[in-house]
Every structure is written in C-alpha cells, then in structure tokens.
C-alpha cells in the first residue's frame, strides 16, 4: 500500500515546453497537491546532441510562470538527487552491470550501421522490427574479435518470452504479447542510458508512486515493467493520459498554431486560464462547470475522471476562457498585465488611474492581452482609421453629415467635455436634427474612433477632450 504520493514531471530540455507536456505537468501537479504529495522535477538530459541548458531554463521559467512549483528537483534539491540524468551516469552504469552479473543482460557489439541495415531489411520484407538477439550467445573468441576492432559494446536487456500485463489507471488492464518486444539497449556504447532504463532506475530510486504521462508512452511500459521485475522492484502505478490533437484530429503541431507555453504567455494569456483549460483536456469536474479556480482544480482532481478519448485543442474555447479570466481580474492586476503591451507599441501611457479606466473600457472585448494594442489605439492615435467598409459608408450618408455638423455647433457652446456633457450634447443634436437611435450615435462613433462598435462613447469623448473631438469630427466631414 502506497502511503505517500510522489509524482514527477521529467521533460527533456531539447526545446520549448510544449502544450502537451505542460498538460502532463499540470495533471501531475494537481494530483500531488490533491493528495498532499510531492511533485518532483527531473531533467532527462541524456540526449547530448539536442539537450541544452538554455532549453532547461526556458522550461523552468514556463513552469514558474504557470505556478507549478516543485517540492524536489533541479534548483530545489532533495534527498533523492541529483535530479539531472546527466549527473546520474554512474548510477545507471552500476545498475546495468548488476543485470549483466545476474545474466539478465548481455554485451551487444552491433554497430549503429549494422543495426540500421538490418532494420531496413526487416521493413522491406514486411516483418516486425526488433533486435534478432544475435549477440546473446557470443563465444569468448567472438567477443575478443569485436574488442580488437575497438567496438564499444552496449548493454542489452534479455526480454523474457512471456506476456506482459499491467493495470493502467486510465486505460484499465493492458496486455502485450511476447512477440511484441525484442531485446533492448540499456546502456549505449558511450555509457549513456536509454530512456526506458534511466526512467525505471530513477523512478524506483526516487520512490515515485504514480507515473502520469501521455499515452504515447504506453508502448514503453511493458519494457519498464520487465525491468522492474528483473530488479525485483515494485513498479509504480501507471496512468497514461490521452494525446492532445488539433481540430483535424492530427497530433498537435505548429500547423495548428502556437504549441509552446511561452508563445501563449507572450501573447498575453493568463497562467490560471491556461491551467484551467489544459486541465479540462481529458478531465472534467463532477459539477460540469468549466471555469474552475486552481484551488477547485486541486480539490476536485481525480484520475478516475480522466477519459480515454483523445483531447481536441480548441483555440476558440481557450480564447473564450481566457477572456472570462481577463474580465474578472482586479483593476490593479489588469493594468499590470496590459501596460507592457501598450509600452511595447510605443504608446505614451497616462497616469495609472486614467489608464485603468481606459483598459476597463475595452477589457470585455479581449481574448488575450496582445489584442489590447489595437483595442486601445483610439486613445493614442490622433487620426482614427475607418476599420472597414461599413464605417466608411456611415460617413457618406446625408443624415450622418447633418449629425456631425450639428455636433460641432453644439460642441462650441461648451467649455469642456466630460461624459455627462457629451450625453447632454447628443440630446441637443437629436432635437436639432430630428435624428434618433443608431443614425444619431453611429456617425459620432465612427468620426471619433473609426469603428462602428467599441467602448462607451461618452467616456471616450471625456478622455479625448473637447479639442480632439472637434478635430476628429472636422476630419470626418472632410473625408
């Protein structure tokens, strides 16, 4: 009986944190927090050609941005370290040698070129691709001959001829037939471990209780189960969560849009919204609700509610959800989140209270903060741009010209312009022209903002002030 929940997220630092991997990290983190367990961050960096410290730091930054703080692991430490696989090579070597001594593994002298040639031949003949075991029973003379050629042997595991069955927390009982597996490499000739070997050794020594990962790893699990048996170790519980697919039901990739966490952060998505959305890909709350705080997600998360069906990444739904979170932000955080995008656009920002008012006027139309640059352009660009043909058609109408001329005449009667004054002015314009409703308000909106829809017009006029409103209406009449 497992008394303590210990889960791990173990990314390879070969690029940015992918949305699919982020979902895996989130579910592990929620599971650990729900069970008052331990969330461990391990870096699987044994791919020397592709792994970089820059990628590792990028992944750590993304996890911090999401708020997925780890209890043990790189930068934090812990009693089961080191937590980078590149720093654990002697551990893998000793365990590989143990299996050699016990007759559960053997030295394989096959070169990569020989293995590739045999693989190609098997594919061409339509046979399954697996190692043929030719180095299992080498004589002493054959081994010595290979060593004289300076071949560096790999350590290859002997696959028992038996069915492998394990119970998955999501998929139920899973069985692999004996012929599905071939002897596989534990340690390469250069001393680096393979994924399956390092993963098993680390998960056991770090006392991992549950392995929650994508179901693209299901095919690795029988190999890992056999390794646990070879060492006489108890395997953790496995939970393979469904893949994330694009709208075309193909594996999520760049053709579907942004696929990395940092890309969504850069566009101005909120971390809590992204956690909320990704947690609902293959999992759901018993309540049926979709807007769930992190606290509720932690309280309600349960592996039994993870579905087996593939999850579809719906950007439109993510945008809707992020918009809900934006609209519910406190004013202070709203300003903090929006200001960097406005500054990057070169806008000269007003004092904070006025900026908060301006942002509050456009926030209901936001799906992510990068959009705020266009939404707030009306406040910073002196010459409004008619956004579409509809706007231009509005200004061509005779009724629109009557409204605009009347507006200018009435405006001259006021020393200053605020929202209340603007509403009074519009009543005067209505009385003078006899024009009401949309035909009254739309020409003024288009003249001031260049758009047929937008934020509260009296407040826009107040922020613009009398002089700017006068100038913009004159320009509209001259257009």
Domain boundaries, the chain: 88-241, 382-478
Answer for the pair 283, 23: CB distance below 8 angstroms, yes or no. no
Q: What is the pLDDT of residue 130?
A: 83
For 383-479, strand residue ranges (E) read: none
Helices (H) and strands (E) in the chain, counts: 21, 12
Looking at the DSSP bridge assignments, the partners of residue 154 are 108
CATH of 382-478, one of 3.50.50.60, 3.30.559.10, 3.30.420.40, 1.10.10.350: 1.10.10.350
Helix (H) or strand (E) holding 335: helix 331-344
pLDDT digits (tens, 9 = 90+) for 46-104: 998 899 999 999 999 999 999 999 999 999 999 999 999 999 999 999 999 999 999 99
What number is the average pLDDT over the span 170-177? 94
Q: What is the pLDDT of residue 385?
A: 53
Residue 255 has pLDDT above 70, yes or no: no
| Long-range CB contact pairs, 418-427, < 8 A, 24+ | 418/462, 419/456, 419/458, 419/459, 419/461, 419/462, 420/458, 422/457, 422/458, 422/461, 422/462, 423/458
Interatomic CA distance for residues 477 and 395, integer angstroms: 8
Residue 364 has pLDDT above 80, yes or no: yes
Q: What is the mean pLDDT of the chain?
A: 93
Interatomic CA distance for residues 65 and 319, integer angstroms: 19
* Residue 119 DSSP SS3: helix
Estimate to the nearest angstrom the gap between the alpha carbon of 443 and the chain centroid: 43
CA atoms within 13 A on the CB side of 457: 21
Interatomic CA distance for residues 325 and 262, integer angstroms: 19
Closest-CA residue to 240 (of 224, 226, 260, 229): 224
Q: Place 384 in a pLDDT band, splitting at 50, 70 and 90.
A: low
Identify the DSSP state of 127.
-
**Catalytic status, residue 396:** no
Residue 357 has pLDDT above 90, yes or no: yes
Q: Place 180 in a pLDDT band, splitting at 50, 70 and 90.
A: confident
For 137-204, strand residue ranges (E) read: 154-157, 164-168, 172-176, 185-187
What number is the average pLDDT over the span 415-436? 94
Interatomic CA distance for residues 426 and 413, integer angstroms: 13
Q: What is the pLDDT of residue 446?
A: 92
Q: Place 179 in a pLDDT band, splitting at 50, 70 and 90.
A: confident
From 162, 254, 396, 427, the catalytic residue: 254
pLDDT digits (tens, 9 = 90+) for 258-285: 689 999 999 999 999 999 999 999 999 9
Q: What is the pLDDT of residue 1?
A: 39
What number is the average pLDDT over the span 31-47? 97
Q: Are strands 154-157 and 105-108 parallel, antiparallel or unpaired?
A: antiparallel
Residue 221 neighbours by CB under 8 Å, 6+ apart:
166, 168, 174, 238, 240
Given this structure, which CATH class describes domain 88-241?
A: alpha beta
Residue 65: burial class (beta carbons within 10 Å; 0-12, 13-18, 19+)? middle
Tokens 């590792």 identify what position?
A: 56
Identify the DSSP state of 193.
B
Closest-CA residue to 35 (of 77, 61, 5, 15): 5
Interatomic CA distance for residues 438 and 448, integer angstroms: 15
CA atoms within 13 A on the CB side of 212: 28
Phi/psi region, residue 388 (left: phi>0; alpha: psi -120 to 50; beta: rest), is: beta
Q: Place 45 in a pLDDT band, splitting at 50, 70 and 90.
A: very high
pLDDT digits (tens, 9 = 90+) for 202-218: 999 999 999 999 999 99
């Amino acid at each position: 009986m497992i008394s303590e929940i210990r889960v791990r997220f173990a990314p390879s630092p070969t690029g940015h944190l992918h949305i699919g991997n982020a979902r895996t990290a989130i579910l592990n983190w929620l599971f650990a927090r729900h069970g008052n367990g331990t969330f461990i961050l391990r870096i699987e960096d044994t791919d020397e050609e592709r792994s970089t410290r820059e990628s590792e730091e990028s992944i750590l930054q993304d996890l911090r941005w999401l708020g997925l703080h780890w209890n043990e692991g790189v930068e934090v430490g812990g009693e089961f370290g080191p937590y980078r696989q590149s720093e654990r090579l002697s551990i893998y070597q000793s365990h590989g040698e143990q299996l050699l001594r016990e007759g559960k593994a053997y030295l394989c002298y096959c070169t990569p070129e020989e293995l590739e040639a045999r693989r190609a031949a098997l594919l061409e003949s339509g046979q399954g691709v697996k190692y043929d075991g030719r180095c299992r029973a080498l004589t002493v003379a054959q081994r010595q001959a290979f060593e004289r050629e300076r071949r560096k042997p790999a350590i290859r595991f002997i696959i028992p001829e038996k069915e492998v069955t394990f119970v998955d927390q999501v998929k139920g009982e899973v069985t692999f037939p004996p012929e599905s597996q071939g002897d596989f490499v534990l340690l390469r000739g250069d001393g680096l471990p393979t994924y399956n070997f390092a993963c098993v050794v680390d998960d056991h020594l770090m006392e991992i209780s549950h392995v929650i990962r994508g179901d693209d790893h299901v095919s690795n699990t029988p190999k890992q189960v056999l390794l646990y048996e070879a060492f006489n170790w108890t395997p953790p519980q496995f939970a393979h969560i469904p893949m994330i697919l694009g709208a075309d039901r193909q594996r999520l990739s760049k053709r579907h849009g942004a696929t990395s966490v940092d890309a969504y952060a850069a566009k101005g998505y909120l971390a809590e919204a992204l956690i909320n959305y990704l947690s609902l890909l293959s999992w759901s709350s018993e309540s049926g609700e979709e807007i769930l705080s992190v606290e509720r997600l932690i309280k309600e998360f349960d592996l039994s509610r993870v579905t087996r069906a593939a999850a579809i990444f719906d950007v439109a739904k993510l945008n809707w959800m992020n918009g809900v979170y934006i609209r519910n932000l406190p004013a202070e955080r709203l300003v903090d989140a929006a200001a960097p995008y406005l500054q990057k656009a070169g806008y000269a920002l007003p004092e904070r209270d006025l900026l908060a008012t301006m942002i509050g006027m456009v926030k209901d139309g936001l799906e992510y903060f990068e959009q705020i640059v266009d939404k707030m352009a009306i406040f910073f660009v002196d010459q409004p741009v008619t956004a579409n043909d509809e706007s231009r058609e509005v200004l061509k109408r005779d009724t629109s010209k009557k409204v605009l001329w009347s507006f200018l005449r009435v405006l001259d009667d006021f020393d200053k312009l605020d929202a209340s004054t603007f509403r009074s002015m519009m009543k005067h314009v209505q009385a003078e022209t006899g024009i009401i409703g949309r035909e009254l308000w739309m020409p003024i909106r288009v003249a001031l903002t260049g758009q047929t829809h937008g934020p509260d017009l009296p407040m826009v006029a107040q922020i613009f002030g009398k002089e700017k409103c006068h100038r913009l209406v004159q320009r509209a009449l001259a257009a």
